[in-house]
Amino acid sequence: MHLVRGSGTESFKEDIIDKCAKTQEKLLRKASKILKVGSEMVYSTCSVLSKENEEIIEKFLKEENFEIIPIHIENTEELPILPTKLKGTLVVKPNNFFEGFFIAKLRKKK
């Protein structure tokens, strides 16, 4: 996301991102409570921002008994993949064919 400096929109956009990240974290935690041990879930957003993705998952993994299940997709050389801080997750860059998005597959441990 591009923030225009000096326009007064910085805090507005940052507030929206913060609000979205908090909502996403709450939804993730609610889903984790109803998941049975050994079951898996997918956390996915229509965002490429670390604050809405990797940072939420990193915090969640430190506080909850979950692990990342690596995502393996064949022919990813055709996907516009962005680097991610979390091994096994996927970040796809927006282009003419895709909106940007993030995916993490998580398993509840014993």
- Residue of 31, 46, 71, 81 marked catalytic: 46
E strands present in the chain: 40-45, 66-69, 81-82, 90-92, 101-108
Catalytic residue list contains 46: yes
Between the alpha carbon of residue 52 and those of residues 2, 38, 39, 49, 78, the distances in Å are 15, 25, 23, 6, 25
Those residues whose C-beta lies under 8 Å from the C-beta of residue 96, and which sit 6 or more positions away, are none
- Collapsing DSSP to helix, strand or coil, 2 comes out as coil
**Catalytic residue list:** 46
